[in-house]
Amino acid sequence: MALKLGDTAPDFHAETTDGPIDFHEWKKGSWAMLFSHPADYTPVCTTELGTTARLNDDFIERGVKTIAISVDPIEDHRGWAPDIGDVGGTDLNFPIIADPDRTISEAYDMIHPGEGDSSSVRSVFIIDPDNKVRLTLTYPKSVGRNFEELLRVVDAIQLTDLVPVATPADWKPGEKVIVSPTLSTDQARERFGDVKEIKPYLRYTAAPTP
């Protein structure tokens, strides 16, 4: 059964390019981005992991540990790592999980039926420090992911966890946010100061500091 938002992310033991890990212990106290790729030594995957390596410091600044997974063996991951650095311009700086028996991929519903093989699709899970799934995305194998968008989503989730606001369409950090319907306009003005009412249910304010 597919994982839903709010579910506890399954724990697992795995071999990675950084050595063996127990997932919940490895990410203890941190957010995590667990993302699958179909296969090593493939073009789209190489660009994706290269981009993640380049952006990894940005994820770390947000308290997010990044970790990739595919059904390839650990030897292939290690052999492929130099290509990731060559293509992306940054050496591999996060672990890749080896899942040759597909135990983890199946627990996270990463195997796409009807694709003619048993490799994992491009799934992404953002998991919070309490091990709760906060975001799920699945892309087809032919479409590379936008990792800048994943950083944006992390910013939005972390902000809205701490302050009673929501983010509008296409929001970027620093832009105005939407006041939560749980606050009246008067309560919102008392808390945030300037509040612009577009509709009684749609009020904008400057992005507050958590």
The CA distance from 96 to 166, in Å, is: 33
Which amino acid type is present at position 87? Answer: V
CA angle at 191 for the pair 189 and 196, rounded to the nearest 5°: 30
- From residue 63, alpha-carbon distances to 10, 27, 68, 138, 141 in Å are 20, 10, 17, 23, 28
The CA distance from 128 to 37, in Å, is: 21
Retrieve residue 144's tokens. 């590379």
Q: Judging by DSSP bridges, how do beta strands 64-70 and 96-98 pair with one another?
A: parallel
Catalytically active residues, by annotation: 45
Retrieve residue 4's tokens. 């839903």
